[in-house]
C-alpha cells in the first residue's frame, strides 16, 4: 500500500470527502476549519516518508595513524678477534728441486755427546729433496703402451705432487708402487725414506736405505740419512762407518765431509776430524760452525796456534749463534793464554 492511499484512508476515517475528478473536497462542518486537518495529513505523510527512507550509511571512522616511533639503534656488536692461521709455504718440486710437505712434522732430536762442545749432528727433519728434474714426458704417445720405466716415472711425479699437497700417506703408496716398477729409482727411494722417518717408521726407513745403498753405493743422500738414524739410536761408530763406506763418492760434498768430521770428533778421532773439516771448508769456507769444529779438534790434537786461527775465522764471519759465539770466544781466550805462557 502506497503512502498516498494510507493518507486517503486516514481522511475517510475522519469524515472528509474527496472528489478526485473535480478536485474538490467536501467541507467539514462550518464551525471547523480544514487547515488543521491538512496540517495533520502533511505531518503523517512526512512521518511515513521518514520511516520508509533507505538507511543511511554511516561513514567508517578515519583510521587513526599513529606517529612513527623512532626505532632505537641496536647496540654495537664488538667484532670477534681474528683467528690467525698458520699456513705452511708450498714450493714447486719441478721448478725448485726441493719439495716441502704442507703438514708440519715435529723435529727429530739427536742427543748431544756428553761434552761441553756445542757441535751437533744435522737434524733428521730436513726438506724433502726432489730430483733436479722430472721426466720430460710422463704420458705415453697416443696408441702406445707405457713401459715399466715410464710408469715408474709417472708414479714418482704423482708422489711429488701429493707431498706438495700434504697427502703423505698417498705419496708413500705411490712411491712404493714406483719402486715395484723400478727398484733402482734413487729419487723415489730417498723421498720414501724421508717420509717414513717423518712418520716415525725408522726401522722401515733404515731397511729401505740399506737396500738402496747395496744397489747404489754412491747414493750419498741415502748414506747421510742412514747415518743420522744410527746416531739417533746412539750408534755413533756405526754411523761413521756408514759415511766412510760412501766417502769415495762424496769428495765434493761439503755437508757430507763436515758430518764425518763431527762424528769422528765425538769418537775422539781428532786427526780424522781435522782432515774432514778442512776438506769441507775448502768447499764452503764461510761455514762458521765448521771453523769452530775444526778449532776444537785442533786443540784436542795439541795444535793451539791453528786452533786460535780457526776460532778467529769463525768469529769474524759473524754468523754464529749466541751460544756458539760465547763458546768460541772462551776457547779463543784459553788458546791465547796458553800461547802466552
Domain co-membership, 198 together with 161? yes
Domain co-membership, 123 together with 245? yes
Label residue 109 by pLDDT band (50, 70, 90). Answer: very low
Domain co-membership, 181 together with 291? no
Predicted confidence (pLDDT) per residue in 229-239, tens digit:
999 999 999 99
Predicted confidence (pLDDT) per residue in 134-154, tens digit:
444 444 444 445 688 899 999
Domain co-membership, 104 together with 241? yes
- Global pTM exceeds 0.85: no
Pairing verdict, β 98-99 and 128-129: antiparallel
How many CB atoms sit inside 10 A of residue 195's CB? Answer: 21
CA distance 325 to 339: 21
Domain co-membership, 130 together with 199? yes
CA distance 320 to 243: 26
Domain co-membership, 194 together with 135? yes
Say if CB 270 and CB 264 are below 8 A apart.
yes
Q: Average pLDDT in the 318-329 region?
A: 94
Asked, for residue 60, whether it belongs to a domain, the answer is: no
Domain that holds residue 256: 251-341
Structural domain count, the chain: 3
Find where cell 502533511 sits: 42
Percent of the chain residues topping a pLDDT of 90: 53
Find where cell 728441486 sits: 97
Q: What residues does 250 pair with on adjacent strands? A: none
Question: What are the angstrom distances between the C-alpha of 322 and each of 50, 219, 257?
Answer: 118, 35, 25
Domain co-membership, 227 together with 243? yes
Main-chain dihedrals φ then ψ at residue 25, nearest 5 degrees: -115, 135
Among 51-55, 95-99, 178-182, the range scoring the smallest mean pLDDT is: 95-99
Highest mean pLDDT among 62-66, 99-103, 109-113, 206-210: 206-210
Label residue 96 by pLDDT band (50, 70, 90). Answer: very low
Asked, for residue 281, whether it belongs to a domain, the answer is: yes
Residue 184: which CATH number? 1.25.40.10
pLDDT of 216: 93
Asked, for residue 112, whether it belongs to a domain, the answer is: yes
Domain co-membership, 199 together with 132? yes
Q: Average pLDDT in the 99-105 region?
A: 35
Domain co-membership, 305 together with 325? yes
Say if CB 278 and CB 307 are below 8 A apart.
no
Helix axes 236-246, 254-266, angle to 10 degrees: 150
Percent of the chain residues topping a pLDDT of 70: 57
Domain co-membership, 101 together with 210? yes
- Please give the angle made by the CA atoms of 199, 203 and 208, to the nearest 5 degrees: 95
Amino acid at each position: 500500500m502506497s503512502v498516498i492511499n494510507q493518507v486517503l484512508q486516514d481522511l475517510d476515517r475522519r469524515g472528509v470527502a474527496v472528489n478526485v475528478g473535480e478536485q474538490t473536497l467536501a467541507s467539514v462542518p462550518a464551525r471547523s476549519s480544514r487547515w488543521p486537518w491538512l496540517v495533520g495529513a502533511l505531518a503523517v505523510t512526512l512521518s511515513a516518508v521518514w520511516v520508509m527512507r533507505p538507511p543511511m550509511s554511516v561513514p567508517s571512522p578515519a583510521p587513526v595513524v599513529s606517529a612513527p616511533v623512532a626505532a632505537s639503534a641496536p647496540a654495537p656488536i664488538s667484532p670477534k678477534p681474528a683467528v690467525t692461521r698458520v699456513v705452511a709455504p708450498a714450493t714447486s718440486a719441478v721448478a725448485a728441486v726441493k719439495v716441502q710437505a704442507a703438514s708440519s712434522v715435529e723435529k727429530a732430536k739427536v742427543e748431544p755427546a756428553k761434552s761441553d762442545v756445542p757441535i751437533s749432528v744435522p737434524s733428521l727433519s730436513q726438506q724433502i729433496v726432489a730430483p733436479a728434474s722430472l721426466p720430460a714426458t710422463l704420458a705415453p704417445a697416443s696408441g702406445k703402451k707405457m713401459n715399466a720405466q715410464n710408469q715408474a716415472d709417472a708414479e714418482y711425479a704423482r708422489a711429488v705432487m701429493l707431498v706438495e699437497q700434504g697427502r703423505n700417506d698417498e705419496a708413500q703408496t705411490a712411491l712404493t708402487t714406483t719402486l715395484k716398477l723400478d727398484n733402482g729409482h734413487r729419487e723415489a727411494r730417498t723421498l720414501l725414506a724421508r717420509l717414513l722417518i717423518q712418520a716415525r717408521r725408522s726401522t722401515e726407513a733404515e731397511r729401505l736405505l740399506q737396500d738402496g745403498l747395496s744397489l747404489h753405493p754412491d747414493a750419498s743422500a741415502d748414506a747421510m740419512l742412514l747415518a743420522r738414524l744410527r746416531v739417533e739410536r746412539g750408534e755413533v761408530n756405526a754411523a761413521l762407518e756408514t759415511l766412510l763406506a760412501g766417502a769415495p763418492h762424496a769428495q765434493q760434498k761439503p755437508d757430507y765431509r763436515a758430518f764425518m768430521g763431527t762424528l769422528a770428533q765425538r769418537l775422539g778421532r781428532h786427526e780424522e776430524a781435522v782432515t774432514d773439516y778442512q776438506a769441507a771448508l775448502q768447499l764452503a769456507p764461510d761455514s762458521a760452525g765448521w771453523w769452530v769444529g775444526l778449532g776444537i779438534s785442533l786443540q784436542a790434537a795439541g795444535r793451539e796456534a791453528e786452533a786460535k786461527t780457526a776460532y778467529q775465522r769463525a768469529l769474524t764471519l759473524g754468523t754464529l749463534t749466541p751460544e756458539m759465539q760465547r763458546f768460541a770466544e772462551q776457547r779463543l781466550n784459553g788458546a791465547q793464554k796458553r800461547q802466552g805462557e
